[in-house]
C-alpha cells in the first residue's frame, strides 16, 4: 500500500476545510445572506480541492495520499487515511452534492427552529465527516467517524423539516446507534484478535487483512459489522427509519442522508467486511443476496403504493440499495464495479429527484401526490427536470444509472440466475413507480391549486443543472468512473479469493471457492 | 493492629513522606473542626472553603511528589511499598486513585462553596437541627446562617475514600469504609431546599449503608476464619494453597462482595442510589457519584485481584450475573424516569455495570503482553472519564432553576436549547458522553472496559453491554430531544448565572470529556505506569 509521495496532507485538508468552514458560518451574522454565501463558498472551495486531488490521483495506484500517525497506542488505533478509487468516487460525490444542496436549500432553513447559521454549519460538518469516513483506513478511526456523522444529521433532521421531524430524528438515531453498538462489539473483538497476533494490537486495515482470524470468530465479527452497515444502507428488514427520516427532513438533508451518508454503509461493506472477513463474506453470500433481492422488490412495490412523494423516493432508494448490495455480494468484477459505480450514480439521480420534488412541494405545500396534476402545463421546466431525474432513477439507457445497474445484473447473472432474474423485475417496477408518479402529478387536467404554480427559478435550475449534466455525460461515457473503481474491485476480489466464473466451468469454480 | 505486635512491641515505623497525601487530608479535616469551634461565624465560610481547596491541592502535589519518587526507583516490576506496618499499600494504583479522587474532590468542593445560586448563601441547610417548616428554620434562613461544617465533613469522607482502596488489610479497609460513609450520610441530609426529601435520603442511605457495612464486616470475619489473617497477601497465599473451595471462603467472599457492591451501587444492591442521588444536595450528589465510585471500585479491585485472585473461578460467575443485572436494571429503569437527577442515578447504576464488566476480564500481570490493555488500566480510565462527566453533569443541574430552586423535572427542561444554547449544548455533550458516543470520553472508556472483558473471555457480557448501551442511548437522547426539539412549558426554565466556582467545575468537566475522547493516550499511559497492585 505504498502511495505517491506527498508532503501535503491532502485528505486531512479536504476533511478539515468544511469543518473550519462550519465554524466560520456559525460566527457570521444571521438574518443576512452572509452565512449562506460563506457556506456555499466553502463548499465550492472544497469541491475545487477535491478535483485537484482527483487530478493528482493515479489510477491503479492503490491507496494514495496516505497519512499515518499513531493515535491511541493502547488501542492500537492510528490516524490513518488514504484514498483508493472507490473512496475517490465517493469523496467526489460528497463534494459535488454539498454545494448543490446548499444552493438548493437556500431558503429552507428560514422557518426552522434554529438560526440559518446552524443549518448550514451542520451541513458542512456533515460534509467534512463524510469525506473523512471515506478516507479512513483504520477501523477504529472509521468507527469513530461513522458514529460521529450521526450527530450533524440528527440535528439536521430534528431541527429543520416537517411536523414529525423530531420523531423521525430519534427513530433514525436509535436505529443507527443500535447498529453502531453491535459494530462496537465486533470492533472490540477485532482488537482481541489482533492483540493475540505477533505484531500486537492494531486497527490498521492492512494489519487486520493480514491477521489470522478463526473461522467462527470471523463470522461472528462479520455479523456485527454487516448488521451495522445494513442498517445504514438501509436493507430490508432494517430499513423502516429511512422513509420517516427522508420524508420529514428538508429536501437538502434528505439528499445528504440518502445520497452520501447511506453510501457509507455499502462503501464499508466493500472496504471492511470483504477485506477483513473474506471467508465470512463468502459464507454469508447466499443470505445477503437473498436479502438484497427482497430489498429490490419490496422497496419497489412499496414505492408504487405511496401517496407521499418523499416517502416514495425513499422506497425507491431502498430498492436501489438492494441492487448495490446485490452487486457487492455477487462477487464478480462486473457486479462489484457496477455496485461501486451505482453508489455514485444513485447519489446523483436520487439527489436530483429529491431536490426537484422538493421545489415542487415547496410551491404547493403538500407532499401528497393527489394534490397535484397537470403541472407540466404551467411549469414545463420543472416537469422536464422531474422527468429526466425520474428516468435516470428508473435506469433509462443513456443515463448513468443504467450502466451501473446493467453491470450489477450482468455480473449477478453469472453466479445466480435466479437472483438476477428476480432483481430484473425491480427495473420493471421502477418504470411503474416513476412513470405512475409522473403521470399523476405532471399530466392530466390542471387543478385549482396547481393553476398558478410558478416554474423553476434560476437558482433552482443552477442547483439541478450540474447533476443532470453529470447523469447524461456519465450515461454515455462512464469510462473515467469505471477506470477509477476497477482496480479497487480487482484487488478486493483477489483478497476475498473469488475469481469470475468461467461460463463453462462455473460449477467447479464455485466448489473451489468454498 | 498487627498480631505480631502482641508478642514483642515494635515501634511502629511510619513513612510520613509516602503517606503525606492521606495525612494532609485528615489533618485539614481536623483543622477544619477547630476552625468551626474557634473562628468567628462570618469568617468561617471563607476560611473553610480556602482550607478545603488548599488542602486538597496540597495533597495532590504530595501525590505527584510521591509518584515521581516511586517512578525514579523503578525496578521494572510492581511499584510501591507497603507502609504503616502492613496496613496501607502505597503502590501505583493507589497513587493513581488518590490523584483522581483529589481532582474530583477539588471540583466538588468548588460546587460546595458556590453561593451565587441561592442568593449569597450555600446550598446547604442553614441549621440542620431545625425541623423543616418551623420557626427556627425560618429564623436561621433570615439570619443567613450557613453550615460550614460541610467542608470538614467532606474532608473526612475524602480521607476515608483515599484510605479505602489503599488498605492492605481487611480491617483497615473496614475502618476506611466507615470513615468515608458516615460523613456522607450526614451530608446527604443537609439540603437547604426540599429538606424532607433530603433527610429521607440520608436516612435511607444510613440504614442501608449500615446494613452493608455489617455484611462486609461479617465477610471479613469469615475470611479471617478461613485464612487466619486480615492481610490481603496472606489471604491470597491461603487461597492459592488450598485445593477445592471452602464454604467459609465462599461465604466470606460473597459477603465482602455485598459490602463493596453496595458502595458501587451495583444491582441488586442499588436500591438506595436513585433516592439518595435525588434527595441529596446536588453538589453532594456530584461528589458521591464521582468519588465514592472511584474509591469503592479501587477497593473492589484490590480485594478481588490481590486477596481473592486465586479464587477467580469462584467469584467470576457471580460477578457475571451482577454485571448483567446491573447494566439491565440501570438502563431499563432509567427509561421510565422523569427526574433528571434520578435518571442520572440510574445511569450511574448502569455505568457501575459497565465497570464491573471490565473488572471481570481480570486481565493482569503476565497475561497482558506488551501494549495490550490490562483490566486495571481499563477500569481506572473509565473511572476518570466517568467522574469528570458526571461531576460536570450534576454541576450543570444546579444552574437550571425556577422559583422553587433547582428544577429537576425533565418536562421543565423543555426548550432549554432555545433559552440557553450553551448550557443545553454542554449538557448534551455530557449526555452523549454518558451514552458512549465516539469522540467523547465515554466512548473510549467503554471501549477499554469492553476490551478488557472480551480479552478475559467474557464476550457474551460484552454483547449484553452493547445492547444495554443501545437501550441507555434512548433515554439520554430523550433528554436531548426535550431540550432542543420541544417547546417550553409555561415560563420555561431559567438558567441562573453561577459564580466562577461552578463555572470552573463545569468547564473542567466538559473539557476533559472532550479531551479524553480525542486524546486519551496520556491517561492510559499514566494508568499503565501505575502498574499492578502490590501484594
- Within 8 A of A73 by CB-CB distance, chain B residues are 371, 521, 524
- Within 8 A of B455 by CB-CB distance, chain A residues are 192, 195
Amino acid A374: pLDDT: 80
- Within 8 A of A170 by CB-CB distance, chain B residues are 477-478, 481
A116-142 pLDDT, tens per residue? 888 888 899 999 999 999 999 899 999
Residues in chain A: 514
Spatial distance between the Cα atoms of A334 and A342, rounded to a whole number of angstroms:
12
What does the mean pLDDT of chain B come to? 87
Q: Is the peptide bond before B268 cis (omega within 30 degrees of 0)?
A: yes
Please report, in angstroms and rounded to a whole number, the separation of the first and last CA atoms in chain B.
Answer: 18
* Interchain CB contact of B46 with A (< 8 Å): no
Query: Helices (DSSP H) in B404-458: which residue ranges?
Result: 416-419, 421-435, 441-455
| Cross-strand bridge partners of residue B169 | B231
Question: Do A203 and A190 meet the contact criterion of CB atoms below 8 Å apart?
Answer: yes
Please check the confidence at residue A61 and state whether its pLDDT lies above 80: no
Amino acid A514: pLDDT: 38
Which residue in the block uniquely carries the three cell numbers 495490550?
Answer: B372
Amino acid B205: pLDDT: 93
Please check the confidence at residue A115 and state whether its pLDDT lies above 70: yes
Angle at A365 between CA A359 and CA A369, to 5 degrees: 80
- Within 8 A of B369 by CB-CB distance, chain A residues are 195, 200
Confidence class for position B3, pLDDT limits 50, 70, 90: low
Confidence class for position A54, pLDDT limits 50, 70, 90: confident
* Interchain CB contact of B446 with A (< 8 Å): yes
Please check the confidence at residue B8 and state whether its pLDDT lies above 70: no
Please report, in angstroms and rounded to a whole number, the separation of the first and last CA atoms in chain A.
Answer: 28
Closest to A88 measured CA to CA, from A131, A129, A124: A131
- Nearest-CA distance A271 → chain B (Å): 21
- Within 8 A of A76 by CB-CB distance, chain B residues are 371
Collapse the DSSP code of A212 into the 3-class scheme (helix H, G, I; strand E, B; otherwise coil) and give the result. coil
- Beta-carbon contacts of residue B235 (< 8 Å; ≥ 6 apart): B170, B223, B226, B227, B229, B307, B308
A40/B7: higher pLDDT: A40
Pick from B184-193, B365-374, B439-448: least confident? B365-374
B178/B120: higher pLDDT: B178
Please check the confidence at residue B349 and state whether its pLDDT lies above 60: yes
Alpha-carbon torsion (A124, A126, A131, A132), positive or negative: positive
- Nearest-CA distance B533 → chain A (Å): 20
For A280-291, what is the mean pLDDT? 90
Spatial distance between the Cα atoms of B268 and B255, rounded to a whole number of angstroms:
13
Please check the confidence at residue B213 and state whether its pLDDT lies above 90: yes
* Interchain CB contact of A248 with B (< 8 Å): no
Closest to A134 measured CA to CA, from A64, A86, A66: A86
Q: Do B443 and A177 touch (CB under 8 A)?
A: no
Instruction: Fill in the DSSP letter of residue B409.
Output: B
Confidence class for position A216, pLDDT limits 50, 70, 90: confident
Q: Do B486 and A166 touch (CB under 8 A)?
A: yes
The overall longest dimension of chain B from CA atoms, in Å, is: 75
Q: Do A158 and B473 touch (CB under 8 A)?
A: no
Query: Helices (DSSP H) in A205-277: which residue ranges?
Result: 205-210, 215-232, 241-248, 251-255, 262-268, 275-276
Question: Do B517 and B432 meet the contact criterion of CB atoms below 8 Å apart?
Answer: no
Q: Do A184 and B370 touch (CB under 8 A)?
A: no
Amino acid A503: pLDDT: 57
For B17-27, what is the mean pLDDT? 91
Confidence class for position A509, pLDDT limits 50, 70, 90: very low
A239-261 pLDDT, tens per residue? 888 888 888 888 888 999 988 98
Spatial distance between the Cα atoms of B389 and B395, rounded to a whole number of angstroms:
10
* Interchain CB contact of B514 with A (< 8 Å): no
Please check the confidence at residue B324 and state whether its pLDDT lies above 90: yes
Please check the confidence at residue A268 and state whether its pLDDT lies above 60: yes
Please check the confidence at residue B43 and state whether its pLDDT lies above 90: no
Spatial distance between the Cα atoms of A207 and A275, rounded to a whole number of angstroms:
11
- Within 8 A of A189 by CB-CB distance, chain B residues are 454, 459, 462
Amino acid B493: pLDDT: 74
- Within 8 A of A75 by CB-CB distance, chain B residues are 373, 444, 447-448, 451
Q: Do B474 and A145 touch (CB under 8 A)?
A: no
Please check the confidence at residue B382 and state whether its pLDDT lies above 80: yes
For A463-478, what is the mean pLDDT? 89
Which residue from A148, A158, A195 is facing B372, i.e. has the nearest CB?
A195
Please check the confidence at residue B381 and state whether its pLDDT lies above 70: yes
* Nearest residue in A to B421, CA atom: A114
B114-161 pLDDT, tens per residue? 888 777 778 887 777 778 778 887 887 777 777 788 999 999 999 999
Total beta-carbon pairs less than 8 A apart between chain A and chain B: 108
For A230-236, what is the mean pLDDT? 87
Of all residues in chain B, what percent carry a pLDDT higher than 70? Answer: 94
Optimal mutation site among B371, B433, B453, B488, interface A, most CBs of chain A within 10 A: B371
Torsion of CA A27, A31, A34, A39, to 10 degrees: 70
Pick from A53-62, A295-304, B271-280: least confident? A53-62
Amino acid B438: pLDDT: 85
Of all residues in chain A, what percent carry a pLDDT higher than 90? Answer: 16
Confidence class for position A1, pLDDT limits 50, 70, 90: very low
Amino acid B107: pLDDT: 94
> Could you say which residues from 132 to 161 on chain B have a Cβ atom under 8 Å away from some Cβ of chain A?
none
Q: Do B485 and A151 touch (CB under 8 A)?
A: no
Confidence class for position A510, pLDDT limits 50, 70, 90: very low
Please check the confidence at residue B291 and state whether its pLDDT lies above 60: yes
Spatial distance between the Cα atoms of A430 and A304, rounded to a whole number of angstroms:
8
Angle at A463 between CA A457 and CA A464, to 5 degrees: 90
Is the pTM higher than 0.90? no
Please check the confidence at residue B196 and state whether its pLDDT lies above 90: no
Please check the confidence at residue B400 and state whether its pLDDT lies above 80: yes
Amino acid B293: pLDDT: 93
Q: Do B473 and A189 touch (CB under 8 A)?
A: no
A335-385 pLDDT, tens per residue? 888 898 899 999 999 999 999 988 888 888 788 888 888 888 888 888 889
B451-484 pLDDT, tens per residue? 888 888 888 899 899 889 988 888 898 888 888 8
Confidence class for position A4, pLDDT limits 50, 70, 90: very low
Please check the confidence at residue B498 and state whether its pLDDT lies above 90: no
Closest to B56 measured CA to CA, from B123, B114, B104: B104
Amino acid B186: pLDDT: 92
Please check the confidence at residue B172 and state whether its pLDDT lies above 60: yes
* Interchain CB contact of A405 with B (< 8 Å): no
Amino acid B162: pLDDT: 94
Please check the confidence at residue A104 and state whether its pLDDT lies above 70: yes
Query: Helices (DSSP H) in B73-149: which residue ranges?
Result: 92-112, 135-143
What does the mean pLDDT of chain A come to? 85
For A473-496, what is the mean pLDDT? 84
B409-446 pLDDT, tens per residue? 888 888 888 878 889 999 999 999 998 888 899 999 99
Amino acid A3: pLDDT: 44
Pick from A260-274, A460-474, B150-164, B240-254: least confident? B240-254
Amino acid at each position: 500500500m505504498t502511495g505517491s509521495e506527498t508532503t501535503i496532507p491532502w485528505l486531512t485538508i479536504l476533511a478539515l476545510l468544511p469543518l473550519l468552514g462550519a465554524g466560520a458560518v456559525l460566527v457570521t451574522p444571521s438574518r443576512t445572506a452572509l452565512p449562506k454565501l460563506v457556506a456555499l463558498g466553502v463548499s465550492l472551495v472544497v469541491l475545487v480541492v477535491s478535483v485537484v486531488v482527483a487530478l493528482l490521483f493515479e489510477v491503479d495506484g492503490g491507496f494514495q495520499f496516505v497519512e499515518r500517525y499513531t493515535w491511541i497506542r493502547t488501542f492500537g488505533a492510528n490516524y490513518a487515511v488514504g484514498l483508493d478509487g472507490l473512496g475517490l468516487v465517493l469523496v467526489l460525490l460528497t463534494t459535488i452534492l454539498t454545494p448543490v444542496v446548499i444552493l438548493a436549500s437556500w431558503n429552507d432553513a428560514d422557518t426552522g427552529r434554529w438560526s440559518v447559521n446552524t443549518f448550514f454549519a451542520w451541513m458542512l460538518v456533515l460534509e467534512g465527516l463524510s469525506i473523512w469516513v471515506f478516507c479512513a483506513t483504520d477501523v477504529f478511526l472509521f468507527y469513530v467517524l461513522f458514529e460521529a456523522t450521526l450527530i450533524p444529521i440528527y440535528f439536521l433532521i430534528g431541527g429543520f423539516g416537517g411536523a414529525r421531524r423530531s420523531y423521525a430524528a430519534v427513530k433514525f438515531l436509535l436505529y443507527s446507534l443500535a447498529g453502531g453498538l453491535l459494530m462496537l462489539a465486533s470492533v472490540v473483538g477485532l482488537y482481541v484478535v489482533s492483540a493475540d497476533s505477533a505484531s500486537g494490537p492494531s486497527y490498521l486495515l492492512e494489519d487486520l487483512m493480514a491477521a489470522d482470524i478463526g473461522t467462527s470468530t470471523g463470522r461472528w465479527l462479520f455479523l456485527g459489522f454487516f448488521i451495522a452497515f445494513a442498517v445504514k444502507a438501509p436493507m430490508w428488514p432494517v430499513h423502516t427509519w429511512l422513509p420517516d427520516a427522508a420524508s420529514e427532513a428538508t429536501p437538502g438533508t434528505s439528499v445528504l442522508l440518502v445520497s452520501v451518508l447511506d453510501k457509507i454503509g455499502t462503501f464499508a461493506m466493500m472496504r471492511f467486511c470483504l477485506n477483513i472477513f473474506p471467508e465470512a463474506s463468502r459464507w454469508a453470500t447466499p443470505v445477503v443476496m437473498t436479502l438484497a433481492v427482497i430489498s429490490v422488490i419490496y422497496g419497489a412495490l412499496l414505492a408504487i403504493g405511496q401517496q407521499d412523494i418523499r416517502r416514495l423516493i425513499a422506497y425507491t432508494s431502498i430498492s436501489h440499495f438492494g441492487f448495490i448490495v446485490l452487486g457487492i455480494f455477487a462477487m464478480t468484477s462486473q457486479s462489484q464495479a457496477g455496485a461501486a459505480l451505482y453508489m455514485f450514480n444513485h447519489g446523483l439521480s436520487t439527489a436530483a429527484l429529491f431536490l426537484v420534488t422538493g421545489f415542487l412541494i415547496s410551491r404547493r405545500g403538500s407532499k401528497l401526490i393527489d394534490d397535484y396534476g397537470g403541472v407540466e402545463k404551467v411549469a414545463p421546466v420543472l416537469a422536464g427536470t422531474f422527468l429526466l431525474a425520474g428516468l435516470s432513477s428508473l435506469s433509462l439507457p443513456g443515463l448513468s444509472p443504467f450502466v451501473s445497474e446493467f453491470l450489477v445484473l450482468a455480473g449477478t447473472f453469472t453466479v445466480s440466475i435466479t437472483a438476477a432474474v428476480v432483481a430484473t423485475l425491480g427495473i420493471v417496477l421502477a418504470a411503474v413507480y416513476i412513470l405512475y408518479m409522473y403521470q399523476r402529478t405532471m399530466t392530466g387536467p390542471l387543478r385549482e391549486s396547481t393553476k398558478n404554480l410558478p416554474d423553476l427559478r434560476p437558482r433552482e435550475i443552477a442547483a439541478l443543472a450540474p447533476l443532470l449534466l453529470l447523469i447524461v455525460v456519465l450515461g454515455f461515457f462512464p469510462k473515467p468512473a469505471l477506470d477509477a473503481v476497477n482496480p479497487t474491485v480487482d484487488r478486493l476480489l483477489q483478497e476475498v479469493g473469488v475469481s469470475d466464473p468461467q461460463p463453462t466451468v462455473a460449477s467447479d469454480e464455485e466448489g473451489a471457492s468454498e | 493492629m498487627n498480631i505480631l505486635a502482641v508478642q514483642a512491641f515494635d515501634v511502629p515505623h511510619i513513612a510520613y513522606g509516602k503517606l503525606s497525601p492521606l495525612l494532609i487530608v485528615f489533618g485539614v479535616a481536623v483543622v477544619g473542626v477547630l476552625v468551626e469551634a474557634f473562628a468567628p461565624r462570618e469568617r468561617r465560610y471563607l476560611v473553610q472553603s480556602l482550607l478545603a481547596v488548599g488542602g486538597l491541592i496540597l495533597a495532590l502535589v504530595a501525590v505527584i511528589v510521591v509518584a515521581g519518587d516511586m517512578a525514579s526507583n523503578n525496578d521494572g516490576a510492581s511499584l510501591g511499598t507497603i507502609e504503616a506496618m502492613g496496613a496501607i499499600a502505597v503502590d501505583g494504583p493507589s497513587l493513581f486513585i488518590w490523584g483522581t479522587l483529589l481532582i474530583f474532590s477539588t471540583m466538588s468542593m468548588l460546587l460546595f462553596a458556590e453561593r451565587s445560586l441561592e442568593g449569597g448563601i450555600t446550598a446547604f441547610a442553614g441549621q440542620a437541627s431545625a425541623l423543616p417548616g418551623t420557626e427556627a428554620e425560618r429564623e436561621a434562613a433570615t439570619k443567613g446562617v450557613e453550615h460550614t461544617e460541610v467542608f470538614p465533613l467532606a474532608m473526612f469522607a475524602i480521607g476515608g475514600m483515599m484510605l479505602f482502596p489503599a488498605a492492605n488489610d481487611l480491617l483497615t479497609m473496614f475502618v476506611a469504609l466507615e470513615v468515608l460513609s458516615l460523613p456522607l450520610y450526614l451530608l446527604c441530609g443537609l439540603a437547604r431546599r426540599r429538606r424532607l426529601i433530603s433527610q429521607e435520603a440520608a436516612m435511607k442511605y444510613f440504614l442501608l449503608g449500615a446494613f452493608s457495612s455489617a455484611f462486609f464486616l461479617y465477610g471479613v470475619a469469615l475470611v479471617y476464619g478461613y485464612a487466619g489473617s486480615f492481610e490481603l497477601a496472606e489471604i491470597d497465599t491461603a487461597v492459592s494453597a488450598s485445593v477445592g473451595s471452602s464454604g467459609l471462603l465462599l461465604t466470606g467472599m460473597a459477603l465482602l462482595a455485598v459490602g463493596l457492591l453496595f458502595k458501587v451501587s451495583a444491582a441488586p444492591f442499588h436500591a438506595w442510589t436513585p433516592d439518595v442521588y435525588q434527595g441529596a444536595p446536588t453538589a453532594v450528589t456530584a461528589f458521591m457519584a464521582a468519588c465514592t465510585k472511584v474509591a469503592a471500585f479501587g477497593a473492589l479491585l484490590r480485594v478481588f485481584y490481590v486477596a481473592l485472585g486465586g479464587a477467580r473461578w469462584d467469584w467470576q460467575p457471580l460477578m457475571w450475573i451482577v454485571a448483567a443485572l446491573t447494566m439491565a436494571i440501570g438502563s431499563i429503569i432509567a427509561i421510565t424516569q422523569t427526574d433528571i437527577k434520578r435518571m442520572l442515578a440510574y445511569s450511574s447504576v448502569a455505568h457501575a455495570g459497565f465497570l464491573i464488566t471490565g473488572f471481570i476480564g481480570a486481565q493482569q500481570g503476565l497475561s497482558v503482553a506488551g501494549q495490550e490493555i490490562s483490566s486495571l488500566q481499563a477500569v481506572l480510565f473509565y473511572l476518570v472519564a466517568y467522574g469528570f462527566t458526571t461531576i460536570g453533569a450534576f454541576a450543570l443541574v444546579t444552574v437550571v432553576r425556577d422559583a422553587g430552586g433547582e428544577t429537576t423535572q425533565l418536562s421543565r427542561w423543555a426548550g432549554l436549547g432555545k433559552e440557553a444554547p450553551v448550557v443545553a449544548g454542554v449538557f448534551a455533550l455530557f449526555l452523549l458522553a454518558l451514552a458512549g458516543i465516539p469522540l467523547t470520553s465515554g466512548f473510549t472508556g467503554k471501549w477499554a472496559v469492553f476490551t478488557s472483558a472480551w480479552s478475559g473471555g467474557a464476550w457474551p457480557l460484552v454483547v449484553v453491554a452493547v445492547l444495554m448501551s443501545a437501550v441507555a442511548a434512548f433515554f439520554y437522547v430523550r433528554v436531548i430531544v426535550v431540550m432542543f426539539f420541544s417547546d417550553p412549558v409555561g415560563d420555561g426554565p431559567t438558567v441562573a448565572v453561577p459564580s466562577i466556582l461552578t463555572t470552573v467545575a463545569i468547564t473542567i468537566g466538559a473539557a476533559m470529556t472532550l479531551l479524553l475522547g480525542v486524546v486519551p493516550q496520556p491517561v492510559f499511559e499514566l494508568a499503565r505506569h501505575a502498574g499492578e497492585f502490590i501484594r
